[in-house]
Structure 1
């Protein structure tokens, strides 16, 4: 049985779905109670309410279930802490990761996979697909890649010291059902507006969106399947894997795909934008798991719009 922390969240739900499709039973740990999303309703999923920073509550899950592997997707970083809470928020974040590692050790799990982010590559020379062995700068502009880098270093130390198979998953920009607006790329907002027949509101973005802006954009159903394949692979040859599409998708390409599913969509964006897109090299993922994406941009846009128009809740 695979424990997925954050398993009822955006990427977590799709990872659980993919694990079930591959024949695994799953237990999900969520800090807050919530109902199973529609894609998991009626399935063999055990739900445990537990905060990963509560070590006793987390370890108790292993007394109720035979946990053989862990996919750790629950947030483990402080998001924009205030000056007077920064130290405690940092301690809270690291406690969560260390508790997960302790659980993996005590339960004797086969593999612990930990979510990281494409953001760890901020500042790396971007002249082609980014490989996992690229030297990373020690600093980061925001808290998420900062803590993911710290986590990757800790995971390497713990893997060596404890002989636990700990693997980092550097996940690219992900979009699709159950997703919300993202501050770093426009795709979710464009899709939601197209499904509603309204003009998109892009005021939440950290910078203006242009038609030529691109990103390694991966549909969440593919992301979840990639994580499931990494978790279940008989042998992994590396400790860090990029999880993405391996290609850049521009806003202009996305708009074209959206208009095929929703011809009246208001998805035009101004021209401009000169930031080279970050694209992940996914050859490790493909070689060690046989992964191939099932959703190109057109199929993903059509699937997402249909899902929203069917009245599904995000």
Structure 2
């Protein structure tokens, strides 16, 4: 049974589904999760900063692997509390893995840790700057350093640096990427946000992201401790708009020419070579297929 922290969240839901599709049993936990069981999926409420409650799970369930995706939503608490909770939760998860004899912990990191690294291709062996632009990359860098030390060789700790995930279950609007808001506006018939045509980001469709995380978590052997999970290209808003118009003919997309001040110079993207070589993972969706799939999901009545 694989424990998925944040298992009822955006990426947690897709990861749990991917693990179930591989035939695994899943224990999905979250702070407000309702306890229950459906087939091979078990749900339990848990705050990962509570080490005692976390360790107690090992007495009730035969946990053989851990995927740690839980984290504090940025801006929901002061940044010092965000950092404390995220680092504490990570250390607690490793402590539980060691206590239970779990052979591998897969931990979510972020494309944001590469901020300041020259592009355009961001590879796992790139030296990372110590400085961070905010709480998310700061806590992820700290966790990447601390958790393998805390494990002390008793369990394998693998970090997955995730690109800009979007798709079913995600927020209708993101402060980081335009894709979700553009799709929602097209499907709902709302006024689209005005975005810069040449702003670009490495997008990873959420179902593919969940499958990639599951591939890392269940691989028989991994020769590396860090893996990029991304689309392997920087997608401009103009290119995304073309795919959206194909899925929703006549969709209005408000594109302004050029780039915004917040656009990352060089349009960097995550190199997925290591992930694909070591796990055999291949995305199921290219950009047009992902946009069409998300449009169909929203038209089926799902709110996000």
Give the 5 Å matches for 1:18-29: 18-29=18-29
Give the 5 Å matches for 1:130-169: 130-159=122-151, 161-169=152-160
Separation (CA, whole Å) in 2 of partners of 1:34 and 1:139: 39
Find the counterpart in structure 1 of residue 269 from structure 2: 279
Separation (CA, whole Å) in 1 of partners of 2:83 and 2:197: 37
Distance change >3 Å, CA 182–CA 35, structure 1 → 2: farther
CA RMSD between the two structures: 1.9
Cα offset, 1:169, TM superposition: 0.5
Aligned partner of 1:232 among 218, 225, 235? 218
Find the counterpart in structure 1 of residue 99 from structure 2: 106
SS of 2:255's partner is coil
Cα offset, 1:77, TM superposition: 7.7
SS of 2:42's partner is strand
Cα offset, 1:195, TM superposition: 1.1
Instruction: Tell me if structure 1 keeps the 8 A contact 2:18–2:211.
Output: yes
Separation (CA, whole Å) in 1 of partners of 2:30 and 2:42: 11
Instruction: Tell me if structure 1 keeps the 8 A contact 2:3–2:29.
Output: yes
Find the counterpart in structure 2 of residue 206 from structure 1: none
Separation (CA, whole Å) in 2 of partners of 1:154 and 1:289: 25
Separation (CA, whole Å) in 2 of partners of 1:33 and 1:11: 15
Find the counterpart in structure 2 of residue 252 from structure 1: 238
Separation (CA, whole Å) in 2 of partners of 1:299 and 1:120: 29
Find the counterpart in structure 1 of residue 109 from structure 2: 116
TM-score normalised by length of structure 1: 0.90
Structure 1: which 5+ runs fail to align? 203-208
Find the counterpart in structure 1 of residue 297 from structure 2: 307
Distance change >3 Å, CA 23–CA 74, structure 1 → 2: same
Cα offset, 1:76, TM superposition: 5.3
Cα offset, 1:155, TM superposition: 2.0
Give the 5 Å matches for 1:35-114: 42-75=38-71, 79=75, 81-82=77-78, 86=80, 88-114=81-107
Structure 1 residue ranges (4+ consecutive) displaced by more than 6 angstroms after TM superposition: none
Structure 2: which 5+ runs fail to align? none
SS of 1:241's partner is strand
Separation (CA, whole Å) in 2 of partners of 1:147 and 1:89: 8
Q: How many residues align?
A: 299
Find the counterpart in structure 2 of residue 205 from structure 1: none
Find the counterpart in structure 2 of residue 290 from structure 1: 280
Q: Does 1:212 align with 2:208?
A: no
Cα offset, 1:254, TM superposition: 0.7
